[in-house]
Amino acid sequence: MDKTPELHESDKTGDWSRLLKSRYKKELGVISREYPHKRSLQIDYREIERFGKAGIAMADELLENPGKVLEDVGEAVKSGQLIRTKDGKEPKGINIRFTNLPKKTGIRNIRSDDINTFVSVEGILRKTTEVRPRVVEAVFKCPAGHFTVRKQKYGKFIEPDGCATDGCTFKKLELLPKRSKFVDSQKLRIQESPEGLRGGEQPQTLDVDITDDLSGKLSPGDRVIVNGILRSMQRVVKGEKSTVFDIFLECNSFEISEKEFEEVEIDEKAEDEILTLSRDPMIYRMVTHSVAPTIYGSEDVKQAIVLQMFGGIRKEMPDGTQLRGDIHVLLIGDPGIAKSQLLRYVVKLSPRAIYTSGQSSTSAGLTATAVKDEFGEGRWTLEAGALVLADMGIAAVDEMDKMQKEDRSALHEAMEQQTISVAKAGITATLKSRCALLGAANPKYGRFDMFGDIADQINMPPSLLSRFDLIFIMADLPEPKRDLAIAEHIIKTHGVGELIEQHKKTPIPGVTPEYIQQQLKPVMPDIEPALFRKYIAYAKRSCFPILSIEAKEALIGYYLRLRGLAEPNKAVPVTARQLEALVRLAEASARIRLSNTIEIADAERVIHIVDACLRQVAYDAKTGTFDIDKVATGISKEKRDIIRVIKDAIRDIGGEGKRAGIEQVIDAVTSKGFGRDKVREGIDMLLRNGEAMEPKQGIIQLI
């Protein structure tokens, strides 16, 4: 009677042995050859399930009782001598790793029933510690020379009470590090993926313990699926043991999920809807109207935001350089023009997006930082910031003009190279931040002055502005017809909202769901947000358009036309960055229709948008041409000319001493056709920048 369990046990080992021999002969051979450099065997869960009748029982047991299964597999490898090293010795420390689990458990759904079972958790890496050795088998020596071995678990170090040798009474033992066994270990903290969260939920985290050859392979910001055994550990607060236990995941294997938007599940029904939509001739109008429909107007801005969500194509060249496909958009506008509303709506729509306000963000919170806390037991750990967490999505940064100067410079590398380099506290790492940036800012003096120079009114460094593909100036100008339409739109929206709320409390006779639908029509998106998310994810996953010859010619023609506006001494209207922006936008435009070619219509559409942006930002009314220097360097061509003429005038009047009366200089320069106010501005600028000084009242001297 007693023998049946025994037989049953060895049977299990036999099953595993058969599975490994039939399916994993090649992998076992590789480990035999490359041991100890390669000492992990990866077993696919689906392979176990397919392994006949026994396979399903084995697969179930793995999920329910993983510790036992790992022992069985280890035993099968050992008894069947499936791995032979070169010197014929039995290999020690072979890791069995299981991947491709059928069910992912959400971090927030982990419960006490899951303890000691095999779980698979998906998330984004938030923090990592450095890789450090951890003792797994400690050897102690007593003064009499006897050795005592204690196996160590995760957490607190266990010391033996006394010497284990019979008759020996020594209690004080000494640890022998040379004889003890160590393993590489690292601690990670993973956080739920932002795309799974609904409206303002605090993302939850789980600590992961990684050992041996898995450690040191992941960096913050990676999206991972971690498979492992959920363990619990008693919480100790100030020496007191608590009844509450902490959980952590003992990592068995991990998979880096690099796939685009795999989390957004698209079934066949949704796919059919998406394909039908893409063939609709009105698709551009529909997608534009699906962005923040409660906000009236701003068609150009909404269209640009749609293009940004679809994005261009990221290209990798054979020499290793990468061309970004993400489109960066900046909205600068008067207060109360619904910039923040737009940003929040985009975060809701985009399959992967993070919203942050510039005023409350530091450069560390945006990029990445090294922190010292109890998570790494007082060691330095690397923590990912908002731009890293928004990798492959959109980072919406509100109030960019309120950011500290140092924090803003952290954006340069993230926007152009799309990486974030950290060199702090002995940790050097490069993290990925392949995200499109959607920024919003207010003008320097609170409102736009339509007669002043626009570049002077944007409180942002030129180096940052030039990295944006599109800059929209959203000025709030009184215009009776438009104001009436906005007023009616706002009142109507509020009216319907009031009706719905009142109807909820006390049903109003005659108000049917159909009637409410009818009233809501103007503020309803043309495409449902849930479907729109799937549409974007589908386009990014499956659509990679190519430029047609006509589109190429149109883009090059527009670029050359703008460059042609520049005479040798005139301002340069656009730089090559603008041409790259045109290409990215055209790719996004073709993606909206899920087309594989970029047609001339796409090129014309984006030329229209870019032209509208340049007209707002870089148009120089006096000369009637574009002057990108207004944005790219912050000083327009005209200002540079004035300063040169002023300097020449001071030198002419002052001779060797380079000092002259300010009034004299103004007269001399105005005679050359410059306005008096402009000359005064130029002189002020020289004094402010420290190129000249005023030794006494009314006298200017060049330094």
DSSP string, 44-81: EHHHHHTSHHHHHHHHHHHHH-HHHHHHHHHHHHHHTT
Residue 263 lies in a domain: no
In the chain, the number of structural domains is 6
Instruction: Name the pLDDT band for 88 (thresholds 50, 70, 90).
Output: low
Residue 426 lies in a domain: no
- Same domain membership, residue 395 and residue 281: yes
Model pLDDT for residues 155-173, shown as the tens digit of each residue: 778 888 878 777 777 777 8
Residue 380 lies in a domain: yes
Residue 615 lies in a domain: yes
406 phi/psi in degrees, rounded to 5 = -65, -35
Model pLDDT for residues 354-368, shown as the tens digit of each residue: 788 777 677 667 777
Domain that includes residue 513, residue range:
482-527
Beta strands 40-44 and 95-99, pairing class: parallel
- Same domain membership, residue 204 and residue 155: yes
Q: What is the CATH number of the domain that holds 599?
A: 1.10.8
- Same domain membership, residue 405 and residue 373: yes
Name the region of 57 (left: φ>0; alpha: ψ -120 to 50; beta: rest).
alpha
- Same domain membership, residue 137 and residue 73: no
- Same domain membership, residue 273 and residue 238: no
pLDDT of residue 618: 62
Residue 261 lies in a domain: no
Joined tokens for residue 604: 């014309």
Q: What is the CATH number of the domain that holds 460?
A: 3.40.50.300
Please give the single-letter amino acid code of residue 640.
R
Q: Are 528 and 349 in contact (CB under 8 A)?
A: no
In terms of average pLDDT, the best of 289-303, 564-578, 610-624 is 289-303
- Same domain membership, residue 357 and residue 313: yes
Strand partners, 470: 329
- Same domain membership, residue 317 and residue 388: yes
Strand partners, 183: 134
pLDDT of residue 439: 85
Instruction: Name the pLDDT band for 570 (thresholds 50, 70, 90).
Output: very low
Integer CA distances (angstroms), 562 to 286, 470, 619, in order: 31, 16, 11
- Same domain membership, residue 350 and residue 448: yes
Q: Which of 632, 648, 677 marks a domain boundary?
A: 632
Q: What is the CATH number of the domain that holds 195?
A: 2.40.50.140
- Same domain membership, residue 457 and residue 318: yes
Q: Are 671 and 628 in contact (CB under 8 A)?
A: no
Q: Are 394 and 349 in contact (CB under 8 A)?
A: no
Residue 535 lies in a domain: no
Joined tokens for residue 255: 């998979």
Give 175: exposed, middle or buried? Use CB within 10 Å, 0-12, 13-18, 19+.
middle
Site of tokens 């005064």: 680
Strand partners, 191: 124, 205
- Same domain membership, residue 500 and residue 367: no
Q: Is the dihedral of CA 617, 618, 619, 621 positive or negative?
A: positive
- Same domain membership, residue 684 and residue 560: no
Q: Which of 222, 256, 290 marks a domain boundary?
A: 256
Instruction: Name the pLDDT band for 565 (thresholds 50, 70, 90).
Output: low
Model pLDDT for residues 457-467, shown as the tens digit of each residue: 777 777 777 78
From the CB of residue 9, how many other CB atoms can be counted at a distance below 10 Å? 13
CA distance 232 to 234: 7
Residue 56 lies in a domain: yes
Residue 88 lies in a domain: yes
Model pLDDT for residues 223-245, shown as the tens digit of each residue: 888 888 888 888 877 878 888 88
Q: What is the CATH number of the domain that holds 696?
A: 1.10.10
| pLDDT score of 474 more than 80 | no
Rounded average pLDDT over 626-652:
68
Q: Are 467 and 452 in contact (CB under 8 A)?
A: no
- Same domain membership, residue 387 and residue 368: yes
pLDDT of residue 5: 42
Largest interatomic CA distance in the chain: 117
Q: Which of 604, 632, 660 marks a domain boundary?
A: 632
